[in-house]
Amino acid sequence: MDLPERPKGQIPTSSMFEENVQLWAMSGEFCPEGTIPIRRTREQDFLRASSIRRFGRKIRRPIRRDSSSNGHEHAVGYVSGDQYYGAKASINVWAPRVVNQYEFSLSQLWVISGSFGDDLNTIEAGWQVSPELYGDNYPRFFTYWTSDAYQATGCYNLLCSGFVQTNNRIAIGAAISPISSYNGGQFDISLLIWKDPKHGNWWLKFGNGDLVGYWPSFLFTHLRDHASMVQFGGEVVNNRASNSHTSTQMGSGHFAGEGFGKASYFRNLQVVDWDNSLIPLSNLRVLADRPNCYNIQGGINRVWGNYFYYGGPGRNSRCP
């Protein structure tokens, strides 16, 4: 596969933030040219799954932006009403508490096309804490895709065919390090998803230069052409195990109003236009399904461009 044509207008990530690395690679290990690192799927991974058929898949749910559904709760920023050919963001990395095996907490970007019915196409990437999928509480780099609203197509990472990895140093599903701490060091990962104008495939870039791989355009129906919505933010599962709202955290586990060093953020939000150029967002809207549990506050400034703080603790006196 030829290398893709990278979007114009990329600004290197500011140096006040250290580039994150993956725990497995800290020894300097990487795979030989022509091979890729793959996280081993063990017997225990299958045993934790609700079923073999659903292993590595998101639960099917209608993801409408005006309601939480099926126990999934969001705090997101989004743009719609145009044709989008990609998205970019720097995502603050934390290790939110997830209270049981059947819940998760993630922070990601979604590239979306189609209706929110059975024909929904999405490409997704970010970090997630998912004890069911990984057997631990580390934040891990992940990808996802579907072309039929999470029914029969798509999966996390490399757990089914679809995403084609080309990088021999980055392992999808590997733990990210370092992670941010409250009132301490802040770390983020920069992700870019865009549609290569030469071949039409959707590529993923991690950090300042590493191409991870691509989703072939033939996987999709609507996304063969362009996206109609781009979404950034957090999502948790609330399964109300004890008949009350979960205490699973989103982001840092603190509300947006606490600001830098305390609340989690997305910064330098951009989209890719028809001309393969990265441009700022013109009409970012923010939405929290249950703002007393997890909320979001957007802003714009010269250094961070479009940004927002988001997250929360889940269960509290105003979120019983």
Q: In the numeric block, which tokens belong to residue 181?
A: 């701490």
In a 13 Å sphere around the CA of 95, the CA atoms on its Cβ side amount to 13
SS3 of 44-107: HHHHHCCCCCCCCCCCCCCCCCCCCECCEEEEEEEEEEEEECEEEEEEECCCCCCCCCCCCEEE
Say whether 132 is catalytic. no
Say whether 124 is catalytic. yes
160/179 Cα distance (integer angstroms): 28
Catalytic hit among 18, 19, 73, 124? 124
38/52 Cα distance (integer angstroms): 19
- C-beta separation of 237 from 68 below 8 A: no
State the residue for tokens 């979306």: 112
For residue 307, what are the β-bridge partners? Answer: 299
Catalytic hit among 19, 132, 235, 258? 235
3-class SS at 310? strand
State the residue for tokens 């996206």: 227
Residues annotated as catalytic are 124, 235
